[in-house]
Amino acid sequence: MLNSRAPVLAGLVATLFAAPAFAQGEVNVYTYREAKLIAPLFEAFTKATGVKVNVVSANSGLEQRIVSEGANSPADVLLTVDIARVQDALNAGITQPLKSDVLEKTIPAQYRDPAGNWFGVSMRARVVYASKDRVKQDAITYEDLADPKWKGRICIRSGQQIYNNALFAAYIAHYGEAKTEDWLKGLKANLAQKPSGGDREVARDIAAGKCDIGLGNTYYWALMQNVETDRKPWVEATKVILPTFQNGGTHINVSAAALTKHAPNKANAVKLMEWLAGEQAQHIYADMNFEYPLRTGVALNPTIASYGALKPDAMPLVKIMEFKKVASVLVDKVGFDN
């Protein structure tokens, strides 16, 4: 698997992609997904279709890379981990609309672009990790996180991190900028420590008694429970609560796929995107990545199912994306990460 973070390999990738011999039987994917999470998907796709998948993965900057490559970009598909990345791709003008009956019939309208510039392929929820011993309640709203009863009891990663940014943008979509600013001030006042680390570290700090609750994505807790066994003690000390908005459901985010503007292997790119919405891929997302499948009829992984019945918030993702920048500004305005 090729990785853009290794300069020598990145140069080799660009050289290979430019060769005419690679025009048939392959598809080039630029992705923000962790290599270990997507490898089973691409291996299964190749086995099912005979199409080879070349992968360039990175933590940031893929949109800028595609822009700089211009019309000669080898990228066929951009695979994101968050709606913020989707918005960045749209703003950069590096996608093209795709008309696909398969995707439109399979992916609910809430989780895809009305113009066909991107399609969700898997779903995750932003939930509460809570101490089993110190938190007796099993229900909570996002609004409650600003309640003074939680003062000194909440752990969270940076407010500018894309998963938190998306949640804050959803809050704006529900309540407007002014009420969200007040809510962020209340949430900040309840923090046990400076925002830091990742979602796994939230569970770690709860287990260590540094805080009682925190925010995390659904799949991280499942990974620690089933795969990352050295972190299982953090899981054993915590539980997952599916929070909701008072006038809605649980905040949802997606991993999404977009067809790039100059895709040199467009037919194979469309084949891959449609395959990712198919039953086999959706089972892999559910059972190996511990995500919520978007295809109807695909069973949840038992760990994810153990969280309880998910009621997804009905706010369209395209609406939430409108407030991404405003959410970032508010985080700085209230000094959330200070």
Q: Are residues 95 and 56 in the same domain?
A: yes
In angstroms, the CA 235 to CA 168 distance is: 26
304 in a domain, yes or no?
A: no
Q: What's the pLDDT at 7?
A: 36
Q: Is the dihedral of CA 124, 286, 309, 201 positive or negative?
A: negative
Q: Are residues 204 and 322 in the same domain?
A: yes
Q: For residue 55, how many C-alpha atoms fall within 13 Å in the half-sphere facing its CB?
A: 23
Q: Are residues 18 and 87 in the same domain?
A: yes
- Residue 127 makes CB contacts below 8 A (sequence gap 6+) with 215, 216, 217, 218, 221, 240, 241, 242, 243, 250, 307
What are the helix (H) ranges across 237-323?
266-276, 279-287, 302-305, 317-321
- Residue 93 vs residues 88, 266, 322, 332: alpha-carbon distances, Å: 9, 17, 16, 27
- Please identify every stretch of the chain with a pLDDT value under 50, giving residue numbers as ranges: 1-24
User: How many other CB atoms sit within 10 Å of the CB of residue 57?
Assistant: 20
- Residue 25 vs residues 17, 21, 240: alpha-carbon distances, Å: 12, 10, 43
Q: Are residues 247 and 260 in the same domain?
A: no
Q: What's the pLDDT at 18?
A: 38
Decide: residue 296, CB within 10 A, 0-12 exposed, 13-18 middle, 19+ buried. exposed
pTM score, two decimals? Answer: 0.88
**Number of domains the chain is built from:** 2
Q: Are 217 and 124 in contact (CB under 8 A)?
A: yes
303 in a domain, yes or no?
A: no
Q: What's the pLDDT at 14?
A: 40
Q: Are residues 224 and 322 in the same domain?
A: yes
Q: Are residues 14 and 158 in the same domain?
A: no
Q: Are residues 218 and 287 in the same domain?
A: no
Q: Are residues 200 and 327 in the same domain?
A: yes
Long-range (24+ apart) CB contacts under 8 A made by 199-205 are 199/129, 199/157, 199/163, 200/224, 200/228, 200/231, 200/234, 201/155, 201/157, 202/129, 202/155, 202/156, 202/157, 203/129, 203/231, 203/234, 203/235, 203/237, 203/238, 204/231, 204/234, 205/155
219, two tokens: 């799949």
Residue 30 sits in a domain whose CATH number is 3.40.190.10
1 in a domain, yes or no?
A: no
77 in a domain, yes or no?
A: yes
| Residue-number span of the structural domain to which 140 is assigned | 124-251+310-333
Which H/E stretch holds residue 206? helix 199-207
Q: Are residues 118 and 132 in the same domain?
A: no
Q: What are phi and psi of 216, to 5 degrees?
A: -160, 160
305 in a domain, yes or no?
A: no
